[in-house]
Every structure is written in structure tokens, then in C-alpha cells.
Structure 1
Amino acid sequence: MVSQVEAPSLTSTQPLTHRIEGLVQVFTCPHRSFFTNVMAQALRIAGQGAPVLVVQFLKGGIAQGYDHPVQLGQNLDWVRCNLPRCIDTPLLDEEEADALKGLWLYTQEVVLSGKYDLVVLDELSLAINFGLLSETEVLAFLSQRPRHVDIILTGPEMPRSLLDVADQITELRRSHQP
């Protein structure tokens, strides 16, 4: 048996690297506060050298906003909504609604630019279920993202339409065993 491997030359029109198509992953749970597993995955990917963005739509209280990201290491940017509090209700004042819309627009812009390989959209399902973000816009965003970008969506009661486009769904539940 004889095999031959042909390596592309530097003058070849074929790309030297092949990017794998990104996945849409959903992590859902009937309750909030299960972010540890997702954050561990984001830190692991960033530690391997890939640029990662973590966006927390409903967490506030630290006057952060997208223009003041927390940088963990060289490859992980973490942004929260510029809100005076954490959101647990669909009732927002005008300033809070504007901050959330601004964060959503920023998120779309940087993801569509291809700057990140992994993007975590934390508590996205709650933002949709509260009527703060449009489910239709989120679906359009997912379909328009650069093909190499992995997206992780988190939150309880994930809308069926998002589950339908997901490549992987992880449902976390508490064990009832003593």
C-alpha cells in the first residue's frame, strides 16, 4: 500500500488552515446560578489561546458596561450590562432598557466582526422571556454569525426556537439523592 500526502505550498491558493464550523450550545436549568460549568469552559478555551467573550445581560451593580470589560488573562473579555442592579423582572426603567439595548448592539457588532472564537451569552433566555430582547433578532444573529464562532446560550426556560437551532443542549438539574 502506498500513500501520498500533498502539503499546500506558500504560493497555493488553498488556505493553509481549515477552520471548523462553530457550534451553538445551550446550557439550561430550571433555576439560575449554574454559570460555573460554562465559565470553566470559557476559561479553558481562553487558556488555549482562543479569544473569548462572556456577556452577562442581566447582571449589573458594578457600573461596568461594555466599554469597561473585565479582562481575564490575555484572551477573555467579560462584560456586564451597565445597570445599577441585577435584573430579575421585566420591569426596567428607561435608563436600564437603554443599557441593555446598547449591550445587545455591542455584542452583535463584535461577534459579527469575527473578533472572538467563543461567545457566552449568559441568561439570554431570561432576557428574551422578559421581553427585553427579541427572539427573532437573536435567531437572525445566530444565523449571521461568522461560521467559526462557537456560541453558548444560558438560562432557564430556553425558548423552543433556540433549542431547535442548537447543536448541543445540556440540561442541568439538581440531584434529589441525599
Structure 2
Amino acid sequence: MVSQLKPVALTSPSSIARHPLLQTVEGTVQVFTAVHRSFFTNVMVQALRIADQGKAVLIVQFLKGGIHQGPDQPMQFGQNLDWIRGNMARCLHNPESISPSEKQAVNDLWSHTKSVVSLGRYGLIVLDELSLAVNHGIIPTQDVVDFLRQRPPQVDVILTGPAMPDALLAVADQVTEFRRNFLP
């Protein structure tokens, strides 16, 4: 047995009846930060759970390279999770050793991220090690603040990295700081 739904032709968008309780939930900005750089697994669990629930997820790793991926060649995990890194030969650790071509790769990735987010396809965006890209002077802080304020309203964003700039913390709806407590 086959069933098919037939769309109803509407004369104007104003003729659509909307229930007052069915409104778009506004997305949040979450920050995950720590002195150490080993908490990405916690963010990945959240991204995978959201993707498994059917929402499209984009993970952007700004300082990871080594696989010559770039914005034009995202890795796809299942049908709901895209993962992109900069098109560079190595991972960036030391700001003094970042070459002009590596800075350009990070900027290309940032430009690509802003353009695909503006299309509204993704429900969750993870911007991994964004604080380091900002603190290394590659991506301007104000550009990130503007991006967060101008994103489609339903998009959730997760920012990660150590030493998150105060301007980004001020925009966040939730800030999570991972600490290691050593018990005696």
C-alpha cells in the first residue's frame, strides 16, 4: 500500500493558520572552555546526539589540519553531521609559527562557515577552538559577535577553546568551564 500526501495550494503566506503555541524556539549560544584542550569529547557527544535526533549539525575545527580537507570537502557522518577543517597540512599550536597561507586557510574556513550558517540548513554549529583563532589574531572578535547576533534565530551555536574572550562570553546564554579538581 502506498500513500501520498498532496500539498494544498495556498494563495498567500498569510492564509496559513498557525497555532499560537507552535513558535520557533530561539537558538542558544553555549561556550565550553577550559585551561586544557581535552574536553572536545563532551561537545562531540552533544553534537552526535542532536544529529541522531534529526537536526543537521556542522562541526568546524579552525586549528586542525593535516588531511587537506578544506571547506569544499566536508566529511559527512551519517546524513546529519558535516565536519570541516581548514585546508592546511598541519594542526596549528603556536601562534608565532602560523604561516600566511595557514591564516588564509582559517579565514577561508570562517568565511565558508558564515555563508553556510546564513542559509539556515544547520540546527547546531560547533565552532571548535574558535577562542584560539580569535586570540591568535586570525579572526576578529567583533566579527564573531556580529555573526552570533545575525545568525538565523533557530540556530544553536557551541563555541569551544581556552581563554574565551570576554566579548564572546557576554553574548553566551550558557558558559561551561571544565576544571580538573584533584582530591587529596
Q: Tell me the TM-score normalized by structure 1.
A: 0.90
Inter-partner Cα distance in structure 2 for 1:31 and 1:128: 17
AA matched with 1:41 = Q
DSSP 3-state at the match of 2:168: helix
DSSP 3-state at the match of 2:36: coil
Report the CA distance between 1:177 and its aligned residue.
Answer: 2.0
Report the CA distance between 1:95 and its aligned residue.
Answer: 1.4
- Deviation per CA, 1:95-142, whole angstroms, max 9, x where unpaired? 111111100000000001111000000000011111111001000000
The unaligned stretches of length 5 or more in structure 2 are 1-8
DSSP 3-state at the match of 1:143: helix
Instruction: Point out the more displaced range, 10-19 or 75-84.
Output: 10-19
Correspondence for 1:93 = 99
1:58 aligns with 2:78: no
Inter-partner Cα distance in structure 2 for 1:15 and 1:80: 40
Inter-partner Cα distance in structure 2 for 1:163 and 1:30: 15
Q: Tell me the TM-score normalized by structure 2.
A: 0.87
Match of 1:28 among 28, 33, 46: 33
Identical aligned residues as a percent: 57
The alignment's C-alpha RMSD in Å is 1.5
AA matched with 2:36 = H
The unaligned stretches of length 5 or more in structure 1 are 1-9
Note if contact 1:60-1:87 (Cα within 8 Å) is conserved in structure 2.
Answer: yes
Inter-partner Cα distance in structure 2 for 1:118 and 1:55: 11
Q: Could you list the runs of 4 or more consecutive aligned residues of structure 1 that deviate by over 3 angstroms after TM superposition?
A: 14-17
Note if contact 1:90-1:132 (Cα within 8 Å) is conserved in structure 2.
Answer: no
Report the CA distance between 1:63 and its aligned residue.
Answer: 0.9
